[in-house]
Amino acid sequence: MITYDHLTKIFGEGQDAVTALEDVTFTIEKGEIVIFLGPSGCGKTTTLRLTNRLESITRGTIEVNGQNIMDMNSVQLRRQMGYVIQDIGLFPNKTIAQNVAVVPKLLGWPKDKIQERVEELLSMVRLDPGIYLNRYPAELSGGQQQRVGVARGLAADPDILLMDEPFGAIDPINREQIQDEFLKLQEKLKKTIAFVSHDIHEAIKMGDKIALFEKGRLVQYERPEALLTHPKNKYVSDFVGADRALKVLGIIKVKDVYNPNTKNVVQSSDMAQTVLNAMEQKQSKFSIVLNQGKPIGYVTPKLLKYEQGPVKELVETFPLHLRERTPTRDALSFMLMYDFITLCVVDANHDFLGTVTYNDIQTKIKQSYANEIDQEGV
């Protein structure tokens, strides 16, 4: 847990004084990723650098796990926190293994424990230890170097990780991949992470919460979907962008919107004419066919007309099924792409869980914005 309390930072003195950070108060909970977001010069990096005392605090306090950092030895403090920066800053004179081992070595770990840890970490960031241990940073691509940077930050297994645009120097394709891998890692590691970024997409994707800064002030501190649906002022709504409704779709998952009690479901052994009659009665245009709880496709009245026998021989298959963790953005995209307004949700076992329709998604979006519309009405 990191607590920032009325934090102010002024660079320089007298007439040259520049206020980089003014009266910032917020708390990063244990195990959460908090994104420090904002344009350059907004104070996000300064806040991070104050946290490990690379800059000195002008006023206010920072507490780490309840202890004021000014009461701690700065070198000891930094060794308790992982630090990953945009320029990576790998030491060119050291091998990859030696680079990752820096902090454990400073902490005086025994050699075999360091060796073991280095190999474990390299595997964790998906670099084969057999190949990379004894290479030098110059021999690695930018993306690989960044992975080493992350491994180095995690080396001594710190509870807290400070990351300053850690994926900023990587090309967009690799960045997506590293972000995904990092999130998977975080699910296991549950570190408390302060993460500086200027990219709203990265912030939405990575953050449990987002701290949005403007000119040294903390403007809004919220969960990403709250920031998107309830921007506090024009600065925030401009920053998150006009397409924020679409961005919300990236956060809302299929599990938040799907209908588990779909009515228009039939079994694969049902007879075509029975199903057709039932559908005509209900005036439904569409039935999902299940075989032992697994969706095998769908039927329409047109398909069933003049047919005999069980429906399982008449089904049209779905182009794909959704999973619970699929973002609704992707679900909507599939609907547009394949011209379907209903898609099935299945679990890892491929068992049917329910359906998602275009309406389900729209209703959820409307709900998210409901409060905002109320507020604007006042």
Partner 1 sequence: MGTLNFILKNIHTVLFLTWEHIYMVGVSLIIATLIGVPLGIMITKNENMAKKVINGANIMMTVPSIALFGLMLPVLALIGEGLGKVPAIIALILYSQLPIIRNTYVAIKNVSPSIRDAGKGMGMNRWELLKEVEIPIAIPVIVAGLRTAAVMNIGIAAIAAYVGAGGLGVYIQQGIDRVYPEMILAGALLVSILAILVDGLMALAERMLTSRGIQIQKRLSR
Nearest by Cα to 5 from 55, 62, 58, 45: 62
Helices vs. strands in the chain: H and E counts, helices first: 17, 15
State the residues that interact with partner 1 by CB under 8 A: 52, 54, 75-80, 83, 85-95, 102-103, 106, 136-139, 152, 162
CB closer to partner 1 out of 45 and 262 = 45
**Least CB distance from residue 48 to partner 1, whole Å?**
10
DSSP H or E segment with residue 172 = helix 172-189
User: Which residues in 289-317 are b (16+ Cβ under 10 Å) and which e?
Assistant: bbeeeebbbbbebebbeebeebbbebbee
**Least CB distance from residue 9 to partner 1, whole Å?**
17
Tell me the Ramachandran region of residue 89: left when phi exceeds 0, alpha when psi lies from -120 to 50, beta otherwise: left
Strands (E) in the chain, as ranges, are: 2-11, 18-28, 33-37, 59-64, 67-68, 81-85, 160-164, 192-197, 209-214, 217-222, 265-267, 287-291, 294-299, 342-346, 352-357
Rounded Cα gap, residues 111 and 81, in angstroms: 21
Question: 346 forms bridges with which residues in the sheet?
Answer: 352
CB closer to partner 1 out of 162 and 315 = 162
DSSP 315: P
Pairing of strands 33-37, 192-197: parallel
Cα 266 → chain centroid: 37
CB closer to partner 1 out of 83 and 352 = 83
Rounded Cα gap, residues 332 and 341, in angstroms: 9
Write 170-179 long-range contacts (CB < 8 A, 24+). 170/142, 170/143, 170/146, 171/142, 171/143, 174/142, 174/143, 175/202, 178/143, 178/146, 178/147, 178/150, 179/205, 179/206
Nearest by Cα to 345 from 329, 326, 359, 360: 326
Sign of the Cα pseudo-torsion (151, 152, 156, 159, in order): negative
Cα three-residue angle 154-122-199, rounded to 5 degrees: 60
